[in-house]
Amino acid sequence: MCGNNMSAPLPAIVPAARKATAAVIFLHGLGDTGHGWAEAFMGIRTPHVKYICPHAPTMPVSLNMRMSMPSWFDIYGLSPDADEDETGIKRASENIKALIDQEVKNGIPSHRIILGGFSQGGALSLYTALTTQQKLAGVVALSCWLPLRNSFPQASASSANKDMHVLQCHGDADPLVPFRFGSQTAEKLKSLLDPANITFKSYRGLPHSACPEEMVDIKRFIEKQLPPISDE
Q: What is the residue-averaged pLDDT of the chain?
A: 93
Flag whether 5 is in a domain. Answer: no
Flag whether 230 is in a domain. Answer: no
* CATH number of the structural domain spanning residue 96: 3.40.50.1820
208 is catalytic: yes
Q: How far lies 103's CA from each of 37, 50, 79, 159, 178, in Å?
A: 19, 10, 35, 19, 34
From 119, 143, 156, 159, active-site residue: 119
Flag whether 231 is in a domain. Answer: no
Flag whether 137 is in a domain. Answer: yes
Flag whether 28 is in a domain. Answer: yes
Predicted pLDDT of residue 159? 81
Specify the number of domains making up the chain: 1
pLDDT < 50 positions in the chain:
1-6, 232
202 is catalytic: no
Task: Give the residue numbers spanning the domain of 123.
Answer: 12-225
Flag whether 176 is in a domain. Answer: yes
Its pTM stands at 0.94
Flag whether 81 is in a domain. Answer: yes
Flag whether 7 is in a domain. Answer: no
Predicted pLDDT of residue 104? 97
Predicted pLDDT of residue 1? 36
What is the distance between the alpha carbons of residues 61 and 68, in angstroms, rounded to a whole number? 6
